[in-house]
Chains A and B, each alone.
Chain A
Amino acid sequence: MNDSSAATSILSILGLFLLWIVCAALTADPTILPQPWTLIGPAAQQLKSGELLYHLGATLLRVVWAFALAMGIGIALGLAMGRSDRLNRWLDPWLVIFLNLPALVLIVLCYLWIGLNETAAIIAVTLNKIPNVATVIREGARALDPDLEAMARVYRMSWTARMRHVTLPQLAPFITAAARSGIAVIWKIVLVVEFLGRSNGVGFQIHLYFQLFDVTMVLIYALSFIAVMLAVEWLLLQPWERRIRRWRTA
């Protein structure tokens, strides 16, 4: 990111804060919309008591698990479906059904069938995300270069070498697209899962403060997790993307 685009990003975020301040001033009721600076005190106190970090950590752990599982299974499924017409014909209707199944239904069914536990929570989120990942990766798998595949076969490259050096680099733009939209959707679904059936995590805390009509605390938890996800985007996803795109810009 160069200086002028960073400056634009910062100005744009400041603009959002300004809008918040104006709305809060017009509302003139801190129980409905508090001013941004009134969040600092309670946030600091949550941080000091360790409660904020505990719940952020619980949510982050679920996001990481669901993300890793959904990406892993979604990539394998998308790749297989993109390469085999036969398999695609068989599995495509499933994909359409799961794509259109509301997240809430899957979550409720997982809790009912598996129980109110961590496994059910993570499976519910993973199942919600797999169809999206598979659909995106399938497009990439259809565009794989047959000549490179032939080259790899004649040179007797091992399966792992073919995956690592031939197939996955071709899928990289599709994997980053799926990862980017995946991480955003997954954390939102994790919050719903926590809201409905877990006893920790950001979603659980938001549920708690929703029942207490405490807008300040709801905002603190929501904003904290947005900050965590922005950090993931800037510190992990973007540097990783730059690294794998190096050959394009070299």
Chain B
Amino acid sequence: MIRADITSKFFGKQQVLGSIEFAISPGETVALVGPSGIGKSTILRIMAGIDTQFEGTVTRPDNMAIVFQEPTLLPWRSALDNLLIPRPSLGREAARAAMDRVALSGREDAFPGQLSLGQQRRLALARAFAGSPEFLLMDEPFVSLDAETAEQMLSLTEALIAEAKPATLFVTHARSEADRLASRILELSGTPARLLCH
């Protein structure tokens, strides 16, 4: 079960989040939308356990994965090691298969710096899905991509979510992405931010 019961979140004296409550069922993809700067990423970081300075409680499973705006790979480790280090239980064969799934077979020994930005992002996706996570978090993963690459990434993500069926929380400011990927949309508005009822 994945549940957020956030009562408030402050940055200094500024309250950014009001009362925010939602739950995500297994296999459900939830998009969190709203204007930029409203606190979408803050909620995601709280859900991920990266930000622990807030009032309230969050229930989350152990097996989680995250995709950031940037690939956030380990530049000093090979592409294959970038899957195996966060997912040691995976094994080399499964890691190779995961790379093959995102069309990166043959680049196992390359360092991230030798891959194109598009390939790095696909590697980050492969890393996220490799351990069959129960809870997947995505922070604007398609922002700052050109239209064609964004479309490729979007359909790849769609396919991977359909295969692995993790509970997904996905932050975006693009309504079209949310409509396409998500089974449910949560919208943030106001200061401090609250969820709008749908």
A residues near B, CB below 8 A?
147-148, 150-157, 161, 165-166, 169, 172, 244, 247-248, 250
Q: Does B65 lie at the interface of the complex (its beta carbon under 8 Å from any beta carbon of A)?
A: yes
- Chain A residue contacts of B88, Cβ below 8 A: 161
Cross-chain contact of A165 among B68, B77, B113, B131 (Cβ < 8 A): B77
Quote the shortest CB–CB distance from A33 to chain B (angstroms).
Answer: 49
Cβ–Cβ < 8 Å partners of B63 in chain A = 156
Residues of B within 8 A of A169 (CB): 74, 76-77
A148 to B76, CA, bound (A): 12
- Collect the chain A residues with CB atoms within 8 Å of residue B114's CB: 250
B32 within 8 Å of A (CB atoms): no
CB–CB B64/A151 < 8 A: no
In this complex, the member of A151, A152, A244, A248 whose beta carbon has the largest number of chain B beta carbons within 10 angstroms is A151
A148 to B86, CA, bound (A): 11
Query: Which chain B residues border A150 with CB–CB below 8 Å?
Result: 45, 48, 50, 66, 68, 72
Among A147, A153, A161, A244, contact of B49 (Cβ-Cβ < 8 Å)? A153
Chain B positions within 8 Å of A, measured between CB atoms, are: 45, 48-50, 62-66, 68, 70, 72, 74-77, 81, 85-88, 110-111, 113-114, 131, 137
Of A154, A156, A166, A172, the contact of B74 (CB 8 Å cutoff): A166
Give the CA-CA distance A193 to B114 in the complex, in Å.
49
Residues in B with CB closer than 8 Å to A155 are: 64-66, 86-87, 131
Closest to A248 in B: B113
CA distance A244 to B76 in the complex (A): 8
Asked if B68 and A147 sit within 8 Å, CB to CB, the answer is yes
Q: Contacts of B72 on A, CB cut-off 8 Å?
A: 147-148, 150-151
Q: Which of chain B's residues have a CB closer than 8 A to the CB of A165?
A: 74, 77, 81, 85
Cα distance A70–B155 when bound, in Å? 53
CA distance A169 to B87 in the complex (A): 19
- Give A165 to B48 CA distance when docked, in angstroms: 21
Whether B74 lies near A148 (C-beta < 8 A) is yes
CB of B86 within 8 A of CB of A152, answer: yes
Q: B85: which A residues are within 8 A, CB to CB? A: 157, 161, 165
The complex places the Cα of A150 from the Cα of B114 at a distance, in Å, of: 24
The reply to whether A154 and B48 form a contact with Cβ atoms under 8 Å apart is yes
- With A and B bound together, what is the CA distance between A161 and B64 in angstroms? 17
Closest to B88 in A: A161
Chain B residues closer than 8 Å to A248, beta-carbon distance? 113
A194 to chain B, nearest CB (A): 39
Least CB distance from A24 to B in Å reads 49
Q: How far is the CA of A167 from the CA of B14 in the complex (A)?
A: 32
Can you pick out 27 interface pairs between chain A and chain B where the beta carbons lie within 8 Å of each other? A147-B68, A147-B72, A150-B66, A150-B72, A151-B72, A152-B86, A153-B49, A153-B50, A154-B49, A154-B50, A154-B64, A154-B65, A154-B66, A154-B137, A155-B65, A155-B131, A156-B63, A157-B85, A161-B88, A165-B77, A165-B81, A166-B74, A169-B74, A169-B77, A247-B77, A248-B113, A250-B114
**Min CB gap B182→A, angstroms:** 21
Pairwise interchain contact A147-B77, C-beta atoms closer than 8 A: no
A243 vs B87: C-alpha distance when bound (angstroms):
25
Q: Is the CB of B75 within 8 A of A151?
A: no
Alpha-carbon gap, A147 to B74, bound state (A) = 11
CA distance A172 to B75 in the complex (A): 13
Closest beta carbon of chain A to B111's beta carbon, Å: 4
Q: How far is the CB of A68 from chain B (nearest CB, A)?
A: 23
- The chain B residue with its CB closest to the CB of A154 is B66
Give Cα A154–Cα B139 distance, bound, in whole angstroms: 13
Q: Identify the interface centre among B48, B70, B85: most chain A CB within 10 Å of its CB.
A: B85
A166 to chain B, nearest CB (A): 7
The smallest beta-carbon distance between B71 and chain A, in angstroms, is 10
Cα–Cα distance between A250 and B110 once the two chains are bound (Å): 8
B35 CB, nearest partner CB in chain A, Å: 23
